[in-house]
Structure 1
Amino acid sequence: MKKATIHEIAKALNIDSSTVSRALNNNSRVAKKTKEKVFNKAKELGYKPNLLASNLRKNRSNTIGVVVPRISRYFFSTIIAGIEEVAFKEGFNVVISQSLEQVKREKKIMDNFVSNRVDGVLMSIAWESNDFQHLQNLEGLGIPLVFLDRHPASLESCNKVIIDDYKGACEAVDHLIKSGCKKIAHFAGPQFLEIYKSRLKGYSDTLKKNKLKSEPKLIVASHLMKDDGFNIMRDLLEKHPDIDGVFSANDEAAVGAIKFLKKIGKKVPEDISIVGFSNDPLSEVVEPPLTTVDQFGAEMGKKACELLIQNIKHQKDDPFQYQTIILSPKLIERESSRGVIERRIN
């Protein structure tokens, strides 16, 4: 069915198309009675406004570009849910892409966003990202950028919404120590990413604060997949059979460790207590359920989207006012560590 145009409405009412256009835009120069006639006729003819043309006249697309490493990761999917909730309320469309941890793909996505005239970008950087010129170029093009969770340390002047990774790690390790653990290993993430640096520092500082030795041989960095956790746990126990606690920088690797411990007959938490990070749904269904740190992904997505839209709307008046919003994590205690003190004392 052919869409009606402004010109057809004008012809039906025997008025100028410019008057129809002004009426549809609720211009004060058009009389109320004329507006009513135009709106009624537009409804009758099934007229739909050309939003693309309207946005181009306003030099805005009402579109936000979102880049995350992997949509399949629960944490990033909750971030996206938070973004879409705010964007929908504010009248923005969302275009979602995933870098798959590849900087080449990340750069291509940015080129596509620029070509399609997005109004702003929300992103969590890929593991491979070490040159951020493609992101710095956005500012020169007048496109605001807000980082979520993963952010480049080299870009001091930027907007970002992050979790307090250091605090979350401190609470996780402190919990293990209070549960009676004396020799705690750390499954670290790639150390070129700030979030994993902060989690490692929280681990090391909390051990030191409690007068426990931070041993480099008990710190193993990986991509934190389930297989990584399985293999790291196996290798560490071969060399250090007295390990009684593990702080993993994510839940997936922690679940891999539990899988290995079950295979060799070790009990969690009686023999080894384990704490993860992110509060993935997997952490609740694994046996025993995993103690973890909640990152509040949906809240992070909402805050980041609000900050971006604020930049988009006020860009001409007060451009690029950089902010850092830090959310507080929460330790979720479950059976992979809960009650260990009581069991060991008794």
Structure 2
Amino acid sequence: MNINKVTIHDIAKALDINSSTVSRALNDSPRVTKKTKDKILKTAQEMGYQRNLLASNLRKNVTNTIGVVVPRISRHFFSSVIQGIEETAYQAGFSVIICQSLEQLEREKNILETLAANRVDGVLISISMETMDYEHLEGLKNRGIPLVFFDRHCNIPGTNNVLIDDFKGGYDATQHLIKKGCKNIVHFSGPQELEIYKNRFRGYKEALKKNGIPFRDEYLISSRLMEQDGIDNIKKLLDKGVVFDAIFSANDVAAIGAIKCLIENEIKIPDDVAIVGFSNEPISTVINPTLTTINQPGFEMGKAATDLLIRNIKNETGLLQEETLIMDSNLIERQSSQK
């Protein structure tokens, strides 16, 4: 007999009992005596019976699967979040499907549609830089699929978020540069339509205000914060003759591009220009000079987001709880700002 095709009917036939009794025994029903249950389990094992967990879960209307959507798996921050997600999900008996939007709205939409079609029990997502329209996210929520945003979120009523205090991170980075004697501080931002970059910019402006330093429009440069953007931003500043003595970049990647371009132009770091990044990518410790940055607790964020999602999945009332967890960040001082 092909062991891959052993069914409860085969076991019932071998024992000359009802197939419904076999089903109850395999599901550990109290309606079957221990003696009968043991005999059925022993026979099932001998015949090589394997439960179809997918079919069983679908009958219960659960798949014990969580969908995870990140902008880029290659970023250390997101890979550390995924580690926290997988560890927590595994301990709770959930499998994880990991997808990356590559910062593309259409790709993000297609991923969420696919996850919904595959009946995931919930979704953890950090939205793409192109996500200004939330219809696809609201659609997921309207289907009753629990949704938790982490790191990058959007303001949809009734959703859950696990974030860091981006305002404080932006404030701390800028305050650090001001304490080092910098007064002409450029800010490399992501798209200002996204809450995460809006809040980091607000923190930057508040630190300037607290220290009596006026904000200048030409000091705000928005981009997708890739390494090439950091290079291009420096070139624009130099071409326009903008005077600056510091840069606060909303991520490390653009900051590293800036470091490379400044060095090529024989501008000393930190003597001429001090730099602070954001997210503590591993490369920030090996680039020369090493990069001062705001550290984000990625692993802990992944664990907290997964805990929150699983609580909502297991919530038998059917009412999704609205909750936002704010995690702390800290500045790590390295050579790029040590004046």
TM over 0.5: yes
Pairwise CA distance, 1:238: 4.0
Alpha-carbon deviation of 1:241?
Answer: 6.0
Aligned counterpart in structure 2 of residue 54 of structure 1, from 53, 56, 75: 56
Q: Identify the residue that residue 70 of structure 2 maps to in structure 1.
A: 68
Q: How far did 1:318 drift?
A: 4.7
For 2:311 and 2:52, the matched residues in 1 are separated by: 25
SS class of match (2:300): helix
Which contiguous aligned blocks of 4+ residues in structure 1 show a shift greater than 4 angstroms? none
Contact 1:79 1:297 in 2 (8 A): yes
Output the CA distance in 1 between the equivalents of 2:141 and 2:267: 53
**Post-superposition shift, 1:270?**
2.0
Tell me the percent identity.
56
Instruction: Give the Cα separation in 2 of the matches to 1:265 and 1:137.
Output: 52
The residue type paired with residue 198 of structure 2 is K
Residue 197 of structure 2 corresponds to: 196
Q: Which residue of 2 aligns with 1:286?
A: 287
Separation of aligned partners in 2, 1:140 and 1:171:
38
Residue in 1 aligned with 2:89? 87
Q: Distance in 2 between matches of 1:91 and 1:265?
A: 55
Contact 1:168 1:199 in 2 (8 A): yes
Amino acid across the alignment from 1:123: I
The Cα offsets for residues 62-116 of structure 1, whole Å up to 9 and x where unpaired, read as: 1111122222222222222221111111111111222222222222222212211
- The alpha carbon displacement at 1:35 in A equals 2.0
Report what 2:150 is aligned to.
Answer: 148
- Unaligned 5+ segments in structure 2 are none
The one-letter amino acid paired with 2:129 is: W
Partner SS state of residue 98, structure 2: strand
Alpha-carbon distance in structure 1 between the residues aligned to 2:224 and 2:253 = 10
The one-letter code matched in structure 2 to 1:317 is T
Counterpart check, 1:8 vs 2:10: yes
Residue 344 (structure 1) aligns with: none
Contact 2:186 2:219 in 1 (8 A): yes
Higher mean C-alpha deviation, range 95-104 or range 194-203 = 95-104
Moved more, 285-294 or 3-12: 3-12
Structure 2 Cα separation of the partners of residues 107 and 241 of structure 1: 40
Residue pair 1:294, 1:331 contacting (<8 A) in 2 also: yes
Match for residue 336 of structure 1?
336
Contact persistence 1:23–1:38 (CA under 8 A): yes
Residue 222 of structure 1 aligns with an amino acid whose one-letter code is: S
Alpha-carbon distance between aligned partners in 2 of 1:186 and 1:208, rounded to the nearest angstrom: 15
Amino acid at match of 1:100: L
Residue in 2 that maps onto 1:112 = 114
* AA matched with 2:227: K
**Residue 32 of structure 1: how far off its partner (Å):** 1.6
C-alpha distance after superposition, 1:201-250 (max 9, x if no partner): 11111011011222111111111111111121222234456422110000
Contact kept? 2:3, 2:47, Cα under 8 Å: no
Aligned residues: 337
Q: TM-score, normalised by structure 2?
A: 0.95
Please list, as runs of the form range in 1=range in 2, the aligned pairs for 1:15-30 lying within 5 A after superposition: 15-30=17-32
Native 8 Å contact 1:274 1:291 kept in 2: yes
**Could you say which residue in structure 2 is the equivalent of 1:324?**
324
Deviations 1:245-304 (A, max 9, x none): 110000001001110111122221122111000111111111111111112222211111
CA contact (8 A) 2:64 2:95 kept: yes
Cα separation, 2, equivalents of 1:2 and 1:172: 62
Q: Retained in 2: the 8 A contact 1:83–1:301?
A: yes
Instruction: In structure 1, list runs of 5 or more residues that go unmatched.
Output: 341-346
Tell me by how many angstroms 1:308 deviates. Answer: 0.9
Q: Which residue of 2 aligns with 1:123?
A: 125
User: Distance between the aligned counterparts of 1:131 and 1:173, measured in 2?
Assistant: 31
Residue aligned with 1:276, SS: strand
Q: Does structure 2 retain, via aligned residues, the 8 Å contact 1:237–1:243? A: no
Contact 2:171–2:203 under 8 Å retained in 1? yes
Structure 2 counterpart SS, 1:187: strand
Q: What letter corresponds to residue 208 of structure 1 in structure 2?
A: K
CA contact (8 A) 2:158 2:320 kept: no
- 1:262 aligned partner, one-letter code: I
Over the aligned positions, Cα root-mean-square deviation in angstroms equals 1.6
Distance across 1 between alignment mates of 2:174 and 2:132:
30
Aligned to 2:207: 206
C-alpha separation in 1, matches of 2:106 and 2:179: 45
Question: Which residue of structure 2 lines up, in the alignment, with residue 227 of structure 1?
Answer: 228
